[in-house]
Structure 1
Amino acid sequence: MLAPFDLLALGAAACWAVGSIMSVTPARHLGAFAFSRWRMLMVAVMLWSVSLLSGGWRSLDNEIWGVMAISGLIGIFVGDTALFAAMNRLGPRRAGVLFATHAVFSALLGIWLLNEHMSPQAAWGAALTVIGVMAAIVLGRRKEEQHAWESDQGSVGTGVVLGLVAALCQALGSLIAKPMMGPAVDPVSASALRVTVACLAHFCLLWAGFQASKAHNPLTPRIAVQTGVNGFIAMGVGMTMILTALQKGDVGMVAILSSVSPVLVLPLLWWRLRRAPAAGAWVGSGLTVVGTALILLR
C-alpha cells in the first residue's frame, strides 16, 4: 500500500538529482568547503525565516536541539562536504553511485539499532532498487564520453573514499534524527537547526585558518544565485522532505526510496550533455523502477 512517506522520499530523491546537476559548476568554482558553507548559510536564512513566521521553532525542545545538532554535524557538515569533494574529483555520475550506498548503510543500521524489518516483497524491491541504481550509474557512461564532468580531477582513490564517507554520514545523520522526529516536531525547524549547526562548524574551520575551507575563487553574483537555488531545492525542500518522511517511515525504507536520485540524474545529464546514456543505464533504470514498484506496493 502506498504511504505518504514513500512519496516524500521519492520527492527528496528528485530534489537531490536536480541539486547534484546544479552544484557541479559552483562547487568546482568555490571548492567543496566554501560551496557548502555559502549554501548552508543561504539555506539557514531561508528555513529560519519560515520557522519564525510559522512558529514551528516552538516545537524544538532542549533534547531535540542537542540531537539535531549532532545529526547536522555528521550528516550535513561532514556528509555534504565529503560528497561535494568527491563530486569535484569524480563528477556527478560516479559520485552518485558511491553516495547511493547510503541506502545499504541505512537499511543495515536501521535493522541493527532500531529493530526495523522488511517484508519479503519489500526486501526484494530494496535489493533490486540498489542493484539498479548501481548498474545505471556504473554502466551509464559511453566509452567515447569526453565531457569535463566525466574527467578525473585529482586522486580517484580519494574521491571514492570521500563518496563512501558521505554515504555513511548521510545514513548516520538520518539514524540519529529518526527518534526525535515525532508528529509534533516541525520538520522545517528541525532542518533549519541541522543546517545552522553544520554552517557554524564550517565557519569555525574558516576562522581557524583551515586552508581547504578557503574559497578557490571569489563568489560572483552568478555563482551566488546558482548556490542559493541549489540550496533551496536540494537542502531546503529535499532535506525537509526526508525529515518529514522519517516521522512515519523506517530509516532503511526512506533511504532506499531516496537513493533512486542517481537514476533520476540520468535524464538530466542527457539534457545537459545532449547525449543519451549508454544502454546499461537503461537496464539499471528498469531494475530500479521494478524494485521501487515492489516497495511502493508492499
Structure 2
Amino acid sequence: MFVGVGAALLAALFWALSARWYERVGSRIGAVEINALKGLISLVLFIPFLFASSAPWPSGNSAWAFVVSGVIGIAIGDSAWLACLRRIGPRRALNFEFFPPILTGLLALVWLSEALTLINWLGMFVILSSVRFVMAHRLADTQVVENEVGKGLLLGAIAALCQTLGILLSAYGFTQGAGVLEATITRLAPALVVLIPFLSFPQLYRRLKGFTLDHWSSLLMAITLGTTLALWLQLISVNAIGATLSQTMLSLSPLVALLVLRYRGWDVWLATGFATLGVVLVLQ
C-alpha cells in the first residue's frame, strides 16, 4: 500500500514540475513533436534497466491492453494535454486533474470491480477540493489568446478522458500479469509509432536547431522526470493500489509541487491539512 501511495505522490510531483518546463518550450515546438521526442528519449533511458529486470512481458489480452492504453493515454492524451497547456497555461490546465479520479472511480467500479466505500469517496472529494482551493490562490495566470481558450478547454477535457481510459486499461493489463517496467515500455513504444506519421522531420529539425541551452535543459528535465520516471511510477502505483486510488493520489500534483518548492502561506498549509485528511479517508 505505502509503495503505491509513495510512487503516485512522486509521479504527481514530477508531473507538476514538468508542466512548467514544457510550457517554456511549448511556444517553440508543437505538442505532437514534444510528445514524440519524450517518447523516444524515454525509451532510450529505459533500455539499461531492462538488463536488470527478469519480470515477464505482457502477453495476450494484457499486451493489447497496454498497447491501447499507450495509444489513448500517451499518443492522444499527452498530445492533447501539451496542446492544452500551450493554449491556456498551467493554472487552467491543471483544473482538469479534478476529473480523472472521479471518472476512474465510476468506470473502475463497473469494469474492474474496484468498489469504493462512502468514506473513500468523501476522502477523494476532500483531496480534490483542497487541490482546487490552493490552485486558485497560488498558480499565476498565463497570458493567453482569447480565441484559443475554447480550444484549450476542449483539449483539456480530451486529455482528462484519455488519461482515465489509459489508467483503466493499464489496471486491466496488470490483472493478467506483467512486469511494471515491461508494461511501461509496452505502453510507450506503440504510442511513439502512432505519432511518427504526424511528424514533419525537416520542420522538427529547424525548430530544434533554434533551441537555446535553456530550452534544451527544460525539455530534457521535463522528459526525464515528467515522462520517464513519472510513467514508471504511475504504473507501479496502479499495480500496487489500483486505478482509482492511484488517480486520486496523482491529482495531488499541484499541491505537492508547491510544498517542495517551499511556497508557504495559510492557504497552502490549510490545503495540505485537508488533503492529508483526504488521503487518510481514501486509504481506509
**Other-structure match for 1:248:** 240
Once residues 230 and 30 of structure 2 are traced to their aligned partners in structure 1, the CA distance between those partners, rounded to angstroms, is 22
Runs of at least 5 residues in structure 2 that lack an aligned partner in the other structure = none
Give the alignment's Cα RMSD to 1 decimal: 2.8
Three-state SS of the structure 1 residue aligned to 2:138 is coil
1:13-28 matches, cutoff 5 A: 13-28=12-27
Maintained 8 Å contact 1:242/1:254:
yes
Three-state SS of the structure 2 residue aligned to 1:150 is coil
Check if 1:9 corresponds to 2:1: no
Check if 1:291 corresponds to 2:278: yes
Maintained 8 Å contact 1:94/1:138:
no
Query: Closer, same or farther in 2 for the Cα pair 1:201/1:248, shift >3 Å?
Result: same
1:187-206 matches, cutoff 5 A: 187-206=180-199
Query: Closer, same or farther in 2 for the Cα pair 1:121/1:58, shift >3 Å?
Result: closer
**Other-structure match for 1:217:** 207
Once residues 285 and 164 of structure 1 are traced to their aligned partners in structure 2, the CA distance between those partners, rounded to angstroms, is 26
Maintained 8 Å contact 1:74/1:169:
yes
Three-state SS of the structure 2 residue aligned to 1:42 is helix
Once residues 23 and 85 of structure 2 are traced to their aligned partners in structure 1, the CA distance between those partners, rounded to angstroms, is 7
Three-state SS of the structure 1 residue aligned to 2:208 is coil
Maintained 8 Å contact 1:140/1:277:
no
**Other-structure match for 2:158:** 165
Three-state SS of the structure 1 residue aligned to 2:171 is helix
1:250-265 matches, cutoff 5 A: 250-265=242-257
**Other-structure match for 2:37:** 38
Check if 1:64 corresponds to 2:57: no
Once residues 223 and 128 of structure 2 are traced to their aligned partners in structure 1, the CA distance between those partners, rounded to angstroms, is 26
Q: Which residue of the other structure, out of 186, 190, 209, is the alignment partner of 2:179?
A: 186
Query: Closer, same or farther in 2 for the Cα pair 1:216/1:84, shift >3 Å?
Result: farther
For each residue in 1:136-190, what CA deviation from the matched residue of structure 2 results, as whole angstroms up to 9, or x when unmatched?
223435xxx6xxx611145111111111111111110010111221595221121
Match for 2:70: what amino acid?
A: G
Once residues 100 and 19 of structure 1 are traced to their aligned partners in structure 2, the CA distance between those partners, rounded to angstroms, is 18
TM-score w.r.t. the length of structure 1 is 0.83
Maintained 8 Å contact 2:93/2:156:
yes
Q: Which residue of the other structure, out of 79, 84, 87, is the alignment partner of 1:86?
A: 84
**Other-structure match for 1:156:** 149
Maintained 8 Å contact 2:32/2:198:
no
**Other-structure match for 1:174:** 167
Maintained 8 Å contact 1:19/1:230:
yes
> When the two structures are aligned, how many residues end up with a matched partner?
281
Once residues 228 and 28 of structure 2 are traced to their aligned partners in structure 1, the CA distance between those partners, rounded to angstroms, is 22
Once residues 206 and 121 of structure 2 are traced to their aligned partners in structure 1, the CA distance between those partners, rounded to angstroms, is 44
For each residue in 1:86-112, what CA deviation from the matched residue of structure 2 results, as whole angstroms up to 9, or x when unmatched?
111111121111133211211111122
**Other-structure match for 2:71:** 73
Query: Closer, same or farther in 2 for the Cα pair 1:183/1:50, shift >3 Å?
Result: farther
Runs of at least 5 residues in structure 1 that lack an aligned partner in the other structure = none
Maintained 8 Å contact 1:106/1:251:
yes
For each residue in 1:263-283, what CA deviation from the matched residue of structure 2 results, as whole angstroms up to 9, or x when unmatched?
223357x77xxxx68865665
Maintained 8 Å contact 1:126/1:256:
yes
Match for 1:228: what amino acid?
A: L
Maintained 8 Å contact 1:90/1:150:
yes
Once residues 234 and 85 of structure 2 are traced to their aligned partners in structure 1, the CA distance between those partners, rounded to angstroms, is 22
Once residues 25 and 73 of structure 1 are traced to their aligned partners in structure 2, the CA distance between those partners, rounded to angstroms, is 25
**Other-structure match for 1:236:** 228
TM-score w.r.t. the length of structure 2 is 0.87
